[in-house]
Amino acid sequence: MTSNSRMWWQGYVTVRLRGPGLERLLNKITDLDIALHSVERLTADVVIVRLRVRDFRRLRPLLWGSQINVSILDKHGAAFLLRKFRLRAFFALGLVISLLFILYLGNFLWFIEVTGVETLPMEDLKAAVEELGLRTGVVKSTIESRVIEAELLKRFPDLVWAEVRLNGVKAEIHLAEGDGLDLAHTTSGHVYAARDGVVTEVLVLRGTPQVEEGNTVRQGDLLISGVYYDARGQRQLGAAQGIVKARVWYEGVGEGALSRWEPVQTGRNHLQYALSIGPITIPLGRSYSRESHLLERREWHLYLGRAMVPIHWSRIDYKEVEWVRVLVPSLEAETEAYNLAWESLTAQGVREEDVLEERHRSDFLVD
């Protein structure tokens, strides 16, 4: 191994020695058999040298009582490199541990949000969901959403709809009340499909299911019949109760123009003044068509103290324009049509977060 390689593995520093009596200090260093490398004298009292780290520590006794100033300009070698990597390794390890801890916390439920409650006592609802295992700090995998939904509908007769969603570390409880309607005392009735769709979930609280998961239904099809058999095997006719979820389709249509008309000023301008007294306006000068001119209006009002008198003076600038047809990029037109289509879907009650699949088609129509 060469001398330079040995120095690199052991570590060395580049230092600057400055001050009077520099020659005397260099002689003392030589007497102690301290090896100096790459010695470079800048001035009579300034020298830059390289020496091993262990030899640098031996310089301290030689500097006592002298006026020599020692400055470390740079550090080299494996020792310093390993120290730098060690610090970065600790930082990387801390970052990994933090990420793992965050992922671990993501397995728990930390927030519960309830929507749709108007008359239902919130304290009773809170006690019920906690009894059913839905509380902050529990593991999300232990939460049985469908069981909680069914139990809430049983415990609170005023509810006609209950849904529990897990969204990250937050549980969303969506409820709908029946405005005081007691379904238990409704004489009879069935549950029908409100829209076409594919059934994804069936929860029957009372009645006989007429569909199962995977069935395709049309609007108006019977989903849950009010006819059922009680515990004694007797045929009963009552009010069907339950939840049937389905995958449904909504269609939104939007249009985006591939060209538009934009005004281009010709440079010919006209000026008009107008005097307004209350509801009466007296034009001073000729008026021009708004189809071929852009208008800029400035007004000055008359004040008497802090009161504004119903008299004002107007200046109207008519700027003549020519309407030029400008082509719109197809991507911009498609984006405009897409946004308009989503506006129509929103008007139908569709929420973007509830959409499972989205398909869109673009048709280009030429006049």
DSSP single-letter state for residue 327: E
Given this model, what pLDDT does residue 321 score? Answer: 92
Reference 318, options 292, 282, 336; nearest CA is: 292
Q: Where is pLDDT greater, at 178 or 205?
A: 205
Given this model, what pLDDT does residue 184 score? Answer: 47
- Count the residues in the chain: 367
Q: What is the pLDDT of residues 96-130, one digit of tens each?
A: 788 788 888 888 888 888 888 888 888 888 888 88
Q: What is the pLDDT of residues 122-175, one digit of tens each?
A: 888 888 888 888 888 888 888 888 888 888 888 887 787 788 888 888 888 888
pLDDT band with cut points at 50, 70 and 90 for residue 354: confident
Task: Give the C-alpha separation, 136 to 24, whole Å.
Answer: 75
Residues contacting 13, CB < 8 A, separation 6+: 50, 51, 53, 56, 72, 73, 74, 75, 76
Reference 226, options 256, 187, 281; nearest CA is: 187
Distances in Å between the Cα of 16 and the Cα atoms of 41, 72, 181 are 10, 6, 92
Q: What is the pLDDT of residues 275-314, one digit of tens each?
A: 888 778 888 888 888 888 999 999 888 766 555 567 788 9
CA atoms within 13 A on the CB side of 80: 12
Instruction: Point out the least confidently predicted range of 226-230, 323-327, 335-339.
Output: 226-230
- Domains detected in the chain: 3-79 (3.30.70.2280), 111-177 (3.10.20.310), 186-247 (no CATH), 250-361 (no CATH)
Q: Which residues lie across from 281 on neighbouring strands?
A: 276
Q: Where is pLDDT greater, at 11 or 3?
A: 11
**Residue pair 232/314 in contact by the 8 Å Cβ criterion:** no
Reference 22, options 67, 56, 71; nearest CA is: 67
Given this model, what pLDDT does residue 22 score? Answer: 77
DSSP single-letter state for residue 254: -
pLDDT band with cut points at 50, 70 and 90 for residue 315: very high
